[in-house]
Amino acid sequence: MRARLVGLSDAATRLKANIQSISADQLALTLNFVEKEKEWELAIDDLPTGLYRVTVQTENMADHAPSPVHGLFEVVRN
């Protein structure tokens, strides 16, 4: 996953993702993005196949922080 913070100072905060399986009974994961130049990246190598719900938000949820972003993604293996 990749994300970009727009309109915040460089030292504003860090990003985290909460990932929850929709298609299987698994514990939710909370993982931190890694800053790479002007983007934030999150790589997960061992996520089982299935449908997932993700919420990406800043670590600091102060009044000036951006609203969390929600989405769905699917892991498929051949």
* pLDDT beneath 50: ranges in the chain: none
Residue 4 in domain:
no
Residue 32 in domain:
yes
Residue 41 in domain:
yes
pLDDT tens track for 42-58 = 999 889 999 999 999 98
Residue 60 in domain:
yes
Residue 8 in domain:
no
Two tokens, residue 62:
């102060």
Would you report the helix, strand and coil content of the chain in percent, each value rounded to 5?
0, 45, 55
Considering its fold, how many domains does the chain have in total? 1
Residue 13 in domain:
no
Say which amino acid occupies 18: N
Residue 5 in domain:
no
Looking at residue 38, its pLDDT comes to: 81
Looking at residue 59, its pLDDT comes to: 84
Looking at residue 22, its pLDDT comes to: 95
* Strand residues in 1-78 grouped as ranges (E): 2-3, 15-21, 29-32, 34-36, 39-41, 50-58, 69-75
| Domain hosting residue 36, numbered range | 19-75
